[in-house]
Amino acid sequence: MADLSVKYLGLDLANPVIIGSSPLTSNIDNLVKCQKAGCGAVVLKSIFEEQIEERIEGEVAANEQYLAHSDSVEAYEAISRNYYINNYLELLRKAKKELSIPVIASVNCIDLASWVDYVAAFEDAGCDALELNYYPIASDSSTEGSDVDARLISFAKTVKSRAEVPVSIKIGYKYSSLANIISRLDRAGVDGIVLFNRFFRPDIDIEAIAIQGAANPLSSPDEYAESLRWTALMSAEVGCDICASTGIHDGESVIKLLLAGAASCQVCSAAIKDIGVVGSMLETLSSWMDRHGFASVADFRGRLAQEKVTDGGLWERTQYMKRLTGEEM
Ligand SMILES: Cc1cc2nc3c(=O)[nH]c(=O)nc-3n(C[C@H](O)[C@H](O)[C@H](O)COP(=O)(O)O)c2cc1C
């Protein structure tokens, strides 16, 4: 039988399928289910700086009558912040105790200064690696794109300089020069880049005339295309690992992303629908490897990366050259 093991962020994974940060990884019962389903690693649900700060603000407002002095407000804020962070550290400790697969902690932050001090606490709690989810919505029209990019790179450098464990960074694909961002993150020393995050999508309820979340927060199986393109374009150019994410719903897409050069694949929506998908992905991968005579993932990983093939320009094509009828455009 084929050997499905891979290295990701320097960690030994029994196979390349990772359960991505989601409700599936937010409590110990679900985490145990993920491991039983056969995944190679898990990324814990992110701890969200923004959410914590909002909750603290609400608590401070509710306790206003007891917090007469600004010193007491600050002390209250610090205690509340520690409470939420300790809950997360507790989940991390439990996960490390109950699971034998690697556990990656995930941090979603908007203000680096308040978070970088917690890196050591995550490490003490036993995380095998740290995944950073940093994606500011640049909705302030006076902010230059280059400033947004520079903050991301400086953020990656700072965390990398403080962390002992491997660090990956999960990004979206809406940058004017994604290749430049990926290369700069690689040069900043990150161990891995997750391509791509799929963000909350606001929508409008036209009857209530109100803003709401998209009716379906889960991805569909055809959404892996951008991850596939950018993994193929960048995997052979960077020294760090590329982890593919978004729209990976079956074993066939896992195989495609490995052929494009991904070191691993994160799965979230498909596993939320049915955690059994992990087992069927591994079966598909294993039987495909047997059929093609590949004894290990290293035997074929990256074969179709842009730099390895003569028709690599196809990965850069954005315009359809022919209509569906076959007629020239
Ligand atoms: C309900 C839900 C919650 C999520 N929470 C997080 C999170 O806390 N942190 C994070 O980095 N990504 C989060 N994600 C994004 C997923 O990890 C993943 O990047 C995205 O769903 C794309 O992968 P998929 O197509 O396999 O679902 C969440 C996704 C969903 C659907």
**Quick check: 324 pLDDT over 60?**
no
* Confidence tier at 51 by pLDDT (50, 70, 90): low
**Quick check: 123 pLDDT over 70?**
yes
171 Cα: distance to centroid of ligand 1 (angstroms): 12
Rounded average pLDDT over 16-45: 97
**Quick check: 112 pLDDT over 70?**
no
Rounded average pLDDT over 185-200: 95
Rounded average pLDDT over 29-54: 88
Does residue 231 line the site of ligand 1, with CB under 6 A? no
* Confidence tier at 108 by pLDDT (50, 70, 90): confident
Does residue 247 line the site of ligand 1, with CB under 6 A? yes
The per-residue pLDDT for 140 is: 85
How far is it, in rounded angstroms, from Cα 35 to Cα 250? Answer: 18
Token pair 């290293």 is found at 298
Which CATH code of 3.40.1160.10, 1.10.1060.10, 3.20.20.70, 3.40.50.2300 fits the domain covering 6-316? 3.20.20.70
Task: Please state, rounded to an integer, the average pLDDT across all residues of the chain.
Answer: 89
**Quick check: 6 pLDDT over 90?**
yes
21 Cα: distance to centroid of ligand 1 (angstroms): 5
* Confidence tier at 247 by pLDDT (50, 70, 90): very high
Angle, CA 248 vertex, CA 136 and CA 301 arms, to 5°? 100
Does residue 46 line the site of ligand 1, with CB under 6 A? yes
**Quick check: 142 pLDDT over 70?**
yes
Extended strands (E) in the chain? 6-8, 11-13, 17-19, 41-43, 47-48, 103-108, 129-133, 167-171, 192-195, 202-205, 210-213, 241-245, 264-267
Does residue 21 line the site of ligand 1, with CB under 6 A? yes
What percent of the chain has a predicted confidence (pLDDT) above 70? 85
- DSSP at 217: -
Atom in ligand 1 nearest the alpha carbon of residue 219: 25
Q: Three-state SS for 7?
A: strand
**Quick check: 119 pLDDT over 60?**
yes
Atom in ligand 1 nearest the alpha carbon of residue 199: 15
**Quick check: 65 pLDDT over 70?**
no
Structural contact between residues 305 and 261, judged by C-beta atoms closer than 8 angstroms: yes
Does residue 217 line the site of ligand 1, with CB under 6 A? yes
The per-residue pLDDT for 58 is: 63
**C-beta neighbour count of 239 within 10 angstroms:** 9
First to last CA, the chain: 47
**Quick check: 71 pLDDT over 70?**
no
Does residue 170 line the site of ligand 1, with CB under 6 A? yes
216, containing H or E segment: none
* Confidence tier at 322 by pLDDT (50, 70, 90): low
**Quick check: 315 pLDDT over 80?**
yes
Atom in ligand 1 nearest the alpha carbon of residue 196: 19
Beta strand 192-195 with 241-245 is parallel
**Quick check: 34 pLDDT over 60?**
yes
Taking only the tens place, the pLDDT of each residue in 201-246 is 889 999 999 999 887 889 999 999 999 999 999 999 999 999 999 9
Does residue 198 line the site of ligand 1, with CB under 6 A? yes
Does residue 135 line the site of ligand 1, with CB under 6 A? no
**Quick check: 180 pLDDT over 80?**
yes
**Quick check: 76 pLDDT over 90?**
no
What residue spans define the domains of the chain? 6-316
Q: Pick the residue whose CA is nearest to atom 4 on ligand 1.
A: 22
Does residue 80 line the site of ligand 1, with CB under 6 A? no
* Confidence tier at 312 by pLDDT (50, 70, 90): confident
* Greater pLDDT, 152 or 59: 152
Which pair of tokens denotes residue 136?
Answer: 């500011």
Nearest to 28 by CA among 130, 99, 86, 78: 99
